[in-house]
Structure 1
Amino acid sequence: MSTGTIKKVAGPLVIASGMRDANMFDVVRVSEQRLIGEIIEIHGDEASIQVYEETSGLGPGEPVESMGVPMSVELGPGLITSIYDGIQRPLDEIMKQSGNLLKRGVEVDSLNKEKKWQFNPVVKVGDEVTEGDIIGTVKETIIIEHKVMVPFGISGTVKEIKDGEYTVTETVAVITTEDGDKEVTMMQRWPVRKGRPYVKKFPPQMPLVTGQRVVDTFFPIAKGGVAAVPGPFGSGKTVIQHQLAKWAEADIVVYIGCGERGNEMTDVLNEFPELKDPKTGESLMERTVLIANTSDMPVAAREASIYTGITIAEYFRDMGYSVALMADSTSRWAEALREMSGRLEEMPGEEGYPAYLGSRLAQFYERAGMVQTLGSQERIGYLSVIGAVSPPGGDISEPVSQATLRIVKVFWGLDSALAYKRHFPAINWLTSYSLYLDDMGKWFDKEVSPEWMEDRQKMMNLLTEEAELDEIVKMVGMDALSAADRLKMEAARSIREDFLHQNSFHEVDTYTSLPKQFLLMKLVLAYYEKANEALKEGASINQLIGLPVREKIGRYKYTDNADIETEYENVMKDLDNEIGHALGKEGN
């Protein structure tokens, strides 16, 4: 181990001399209080260390000790349901030791080393195994079966395999390799800044179904894809991430509160244990890992938190699970990067952010994907990443938003004007986009209906035309529009209010299955198309706008999933009858 002494302290940055034998990204212990830090720059025998705890009271001459290993996380049974800080210290264990206020220099194990888990082997003595192979399982929660894998770099023959209750540090298997016998425990370590290896990465093939209509129908994200949610204060970024965490088709959720306000993080910590998982009826925490690094916690730990989170997410991906990672928000992470860069006296880039901002963001987002995992048993794992961005003043031309948009393929642009009108989710349909749409379109047409993409495009065209007509209405009033254009405005209003607006607090409307989304889309478009035909045959525009069936179309989204086909038929009959009355004909 390399030891040195503090030469200079500048906030979370500590310069230590005598560190010639240390390496970049080594974990260090600073001062007698043994504060945890990480080497981020080396000049000769001087190392620049970002300290993940409060540095007040430190001074020159105090000792610094390198641990000789990079910043790593402990991976094994016990991760699910845990609440960690940015460097994987369990907050409940810290509270037991030091009370409600975090004390400095607290050393706690990331995983409980005393708890015994029931290990059930799936291999036998004499079996050939390679890195990534599953050798046993542990029932981690009611929902999640934890798969214990052969650590990276170990291949050989199973010499010994155990069955029974063991702690994460006890040997559960012995594998004979070319380099001798290797003992395998249920726990492994992995450096956070290095992506976990896999065999092959595939282009995304299917959507991550979220049950949110504006997302699934208009701007879908792929399973294993990446999305950005930029938006100003109060536009609903956190609520969207909560909705996706609850409803997205993911087996595991990793939620990173990176530099968010303490009260927002408190809401997450209070709500997640109470939220019922719709798929199993259990608490949502039974398949969730939370990383809480609030804005008042040391700034350097904020920089580490997203790497800690994505490494844990990759570990579950390697088991063959579909994992959704929510990072809220990457802007606060970038601010931590900017602060550390300033203290290192690096040449600033745009708006003071370091020149490597774009490459660091890419390193994070590129760890998402649909991959074939290591191991002789072929497994496909998915890691989808949804990052919130909080641009100052809602201006997405700032560097973090722009650097993010160059990397991600889905942009859900939140609009404060929609939020003030109480239209949620406040995703602006004119500025948002999804580059997965062409690939996902084939999946929707095959799995839901051949008319899906065609109908989606019709709705998008109506919304675009409404935006153009709206400019005319603002200048000269609604009366200046032709009857056909007025009908277009009404149809677009129906799309906005009946289809895109979704109530996350309503027990039925909070989630809409794909078949129900398709039928609602058909109803909204059927009204426009049938009313348009009636208009050409001489029906009154005022009569068509005032059809009572329009309220039934609007209320269709509150229909239980079991009744959607019956209700669809009933509303379509009513629509035909009322259009017939508007034309002076008797309905069938």
Structure 2
Amino acid sequence: MHSVKIGKIYGINGPVVYLKGKTDFKMSEMVYVGNEKLVGEVISLDKEMTTIQVYEETGGLKPGEMVEGSDAAVSVTLAPGILNNIFDGIERPLERIADTGGAFITRGVSVDSLDMDRLWETHITVAPGEMVHGGTVIAEVPETRAIVHKCMVPPDLEGTVVSVKPDGNYRISDPLVTIALADGTQKELPMMQRWPIRVARPVHQRYPASVPLITGQRILDTMFPIAKGGTAAIPGGFGTGKTMTQHQIAKWSDADIIIYIGCGERGNEMTQVLEEFGELVDPRNGNPLMDRTTLIANTSNMPVAAREASIYTGLTLAEYYRDMGYDVAIMADSTSRWAEALRELSGRLEEMPAEEGFPAYLASRLSAFYERAGMMQNLNGTTGSVSIIGAVSPQGGDFSEPVTMNTKRFVRCFWGLDKSLAYSRHFPAIHWLSSYSEYLVDLSGWYTDYVSPKFVDYRNRLMALLNQESSLMEIVKLIGADVLPDDQKLVLEIARVIRLGFLQQNAFHKDDTCVSLEKQFKMMDVILYLYKKSRDLVAMGMPMSVLKAEGIYEKVIAVKYDVPNDNLQLLDLYKREIDEFYNRVIEKNA
């Protein structure tokens, strides 16, 4: 056993604690501070001073109390029991803490991250004599009704299996497999492994983006798609719907596992997530959605240092499930609060501030976070992905502030929320002119193969109409719509159909809350067919007032509600209706 390393507190500044003199602590080592053994991490070392950030409230701590080292970096426990659970920023289970300490987290509370006594039904997948290496699956455990947990050899080990336990019920700390290492020593492998949160888990190789993360939200899937293993930012001012957009993606996207990091958000928002996700039924298999979800709650009244750690805790859990071959989606809500925690700690450490008081290393921290996304070939040959969708809350909705601008550099998908859309009840309030997705080109091959060769072309045509509308609206604001020629009035009318009938989506309507790509394509097809026929009529000299009087535009807007998701053939009837409208107008005005 190593001897316990000890230091003595010299100074305290909020969550930052100073020890004077030389200590034997290592950089990034986890330490226990004071008589209450508060969890902390070494963030700076020199021969005169050791600086520690404490992940708990430091009120009542005083100089002279002792700090004890753990000889390990801040790490998370990886084993069955992570899903359907809710943790704080350093993977302490909030339900277990509530059982021992009541509704408010008491300080220095020491509980295991995962249930050490629960027995898991375990099926061993290796046999004696087999060579195993990092990532090899040694056992399978049905963790929830939705997800089979694959227990793996830690990434830094390899050897030959000497003995295995029979299938049965085991605790996460029970040894299941014994392997002989290259140097002749033997090592017992339980289900459980630990991993430092600031170190990315190793992989074989990274794949380029080629498969979309399908969310069922039309403005995302069709207009601004994100790839599996991709990164996206949702910036928006207060009340524009960042959290709701993330909820929709968490509920309906085709990711296998959702990790929701509530980072510095209001407590009532996290309560809403908890309550909603607890009641929601997974559309894929009818089980509760929580069966494939983990929540990391770090509300705005919790200590700031833990907020900074919560992002990395969530990432490490996501990478662990990716190593099993799952597609994981991380909802980080919100990275601005995380950046504010960095700013507060940086201020207490008396570092030189950069723009708006944020530390100079804000950009490198953000890039290190988003860089851990990707679709990977894992060490065991499986393919898995981590997609990161980060909400950004710029103060006053100003997209030119440092967090939004730096995030924009590192994400390839930008879903800009617009206050005026949100206030006019147009949700999702993602503005089509300020948003973009760089994945469109990478994913066009997939859309061609799996949806339709015309998909990307149709999308581009809708986008062109919306851009035309934007420039025409400048004229309308100056001189009114009546002076426009009919072909331009038609562009405005079709753009309205696209906005209300396609881009706007009702999260509370059973057929509109989540829409398949096939229905999205057919809806575009109907809208563009209506445009083509209307254009022919206008070219014949029919005035727009006559076309509007027929009510066909309102009918096409209502397609999203009128056509159930399980009966898409009805969409084909709309083309017949548009033909009838075309003939009717010609007859009436012949």
Q: Does 1:5 align with 2:8?
A: yes
Say how many residue pairs are matched. 584
Measured after TM superposition, the shift of residue 562 of structure 1 is 2.3
Does residue 1:531 correspond to 2:531, yes or no?
no
Distance 1:539 1:580 in 2: 12
Question: What corresponds to 2:180 in structure 1?
Answer: 176
Q: Is the 8 A contact 2:6 2:23 kept in 1?
A: no
Map of 1:525-564 to 2, 5 A cutoff? 525-558=528-561, 559-564=563-568
SS of the equivalent of 1:419 reads helix
Tell me the distance in 1 between the aligned counterparts of 2:89 and 2:311: 8
1:90 alignment partner, one of 89, 93, 99: 93
Instruction: Write out aligned runs for 1:137-176 (5 A).
Output: 137-162=140-165, 163-176=167-180
The Cα of 1:571 is off from its aligned counterpart by: 1.0
Note if contact 1:2-1:66 (Cα within 8 Å) is conserved in structure 2: yes
Shift of 1:18: 4.3
User: C-alpha separation between the residues in 1 aligned to 2:549 and 2:231?
Assistant: 43
- Summarize deviations over 1:334-354 as a string: whole Å, max 9, x none: 000000001111111111111
Partners of 2:104 and 2:456 lie apart in 1 by: 53
Spell out, residue by residue over 1:129-184, the C-alpha distance to the aligned partner (whole angstroms, 9 max, x if none). 11101111000000100001111222121111122111000101001121311110
Give the aligned partner of residue 523 of structure 2: 520
Q: Which amino acid aligns with 1:412?
A: W
Q: Equivalents in 2 of 1:43, 1:350: separation in Å?
A: 28
Please list, as runs of the form range in 1=range in 2, the aligned pairs for 1:256-271 lying within 5 A after superposition: 256-271=261-276
- 1:244 is aligned to 2:249: yes
CA distance in 2, matches of 1:35, 1:19: 21
Give me the TM-score of the superposition, normalised by structure 2: 0.98
Provide the C-alpha distance between the structure 1 equivalents of 2:50 and 2:138, rounded to a whole number of angstroms: 42
Residue of structure 1 in register with 2:278 after alignment: 273
The 5 Å alignment of 1:329-408 reads 329-375=334-380, 378-408=381-411
Aligned to 2:121: 118
Residues 395-442 of structure 1: CA distance to partner in whole angstroms, max 9, x if unpaired? 011111111000000000000100000000000000100011111112
- Listed as ranges, the matches of 1:407-556 within 5 Å are 407-556=410-559
Gaps of 5+ in 1: none
**Contact 1:487-1:545 within 8 A present in 2 as well:** no
Q: Deviations over 1:261-282 (max 9, x none)?
A: 1111110111111111111111
Structure 1 counterpart SS, 2:296 = strand
Q: CA deviation at 1:547?
A: 2.5
**Residue 109 in structure 1 maps to residue 119 in structure 2:** no
Superposed displacement of residue 585, structure 1:
7.4
SS of structure 2 residue aligned to 1:61: coil
**C-alpha displacement of 1:550:** 2.5
Q: Deviations over 1:460-512 (max 9, x none)?
A: 01000101111111111111111100000000000000000000111110001
* Conserved? CA contact 2:270–2:297, under 8 Å: yes
Taking the aligned partners of 2:364 and 2:12, their CA distance within structure 1 comes to 28
- Between the aligned partners of 1:298 and 1:19, the Cα distance in structure 2 is 28
Which residue pairs with 1:75 in the alignment? 78
CA distance in 2, matches of 1:20, 1:240: 48
2:202 matched residue in structure 1 = 197
Cα deviation, residue 308, structure 1? 0.3
Paired with 1:326 and 1:482, the residues of 2 have a C-alpha distance of 47
Q: How far apart in 2 are the matches of 1:37 and 1:17?
A: 16
Of residues 62, 66, 89, the one that matches 1:63 is 66
* 2: CA distance, partners of 1:440 / 1:586: 46
Describe the shift of the 1:19–1:87 C-alpha distance in structure 2 as closer, same or farther (beyond 3 A).
Answer: farther
Structure 2 CA distance for aligned equivalents of residues 494 and 445 of structure 1: 25
Residues 530 and 578, structure 2, Cα contact 8 Å, conserved in 1: yes
Q: Report the CA distance between 1:19 and its aligned residue.
A: 4.9
Aligned to 1:222: 227
- CA deviation vs aligned residue, 1:274-320 (integer Å, no higher than 9, x gap): 11111111111000010000000011100000000000000000000
Deviation at 1:45, TM superposition (A): 4.2
Q: Report what 1:207 is aligned to.
A: 212
- Alignment partner of 1:583: what SS? helix
Query: Per the alignment, in what secondary structure is the counterpart of residue 177 of structure 2?
Result: strand
2:572 and 2:551 map into 1 onto residues whose CA distance is: 16
Instruction: Give the secondary-structure state (helix, strand or coil) at the position aligned to 2:281.
Output: coil
Distance 1:300 1:545 in 2: 59
The C-alpha deviation readout for 1:505-542, integer Å capped at 9, x for no partner, is 11110001000000000111111111001111232311
Q: 1: distance between equivalents of 2:137 and 2:64? A: 49
Deviates more, 1:82-91 or 1:471-480: 471-480
Task: Tell me how far apart the structure 2 counterparts of residues 113 and 229 of structure 1 sit (CA, whole Å).
Answer: 38
> 1:133 maps to what in 2?
136
3-state SS of paired residue (1:562): coil
Q: Which amino acid aligns with 2:506?
A: N
| Matched-pair contact (CA < 8 Å) for 2:22–2:46 | no
On the 8 A contact 1:361/1:403 being kept in 2, the answer is: yes
SS of 1:24's partner is coil
1:480 partner amino acid? V
Structure 2: gaps of 5 or more residues: none
| Matched residue, 1:572 | 575
Which shows bigger deviation, 301-310 or 546-555? 546-555
* Equivalent-residue separation in structure 1 for 2:172 and 2:22 (angstroms): 34
CA 482–312 in structure 1, closer or farther in 2 if over 3 Å, else same: same
| Alignment correspondent of 1:15 | 18
Structure 1 letter corresponding to 2:175 = T
Amino acid of the structure 2 residue aligned with 1:392: Q
Q: Is 1:38 the counterpart of 2:21 in the alignment?
A: no
**Conservation of the 8 A alpha-carbon contact between 1:537 and 1:583:** no
Q: Alignment partner of 1:129: what SS?
A: strand
Q: Which amino acid aligns with 2:173?
A: T
Contact 1:28 1:39 (8 Å CA) reproduced: yes
Two-structure CA RMSD over aligned residues (Å) = 1.2
Question: In structure 2, how many angstroms separate the alpha carbons of the residues matched to 1:387 and 1:455?
Answer: 29
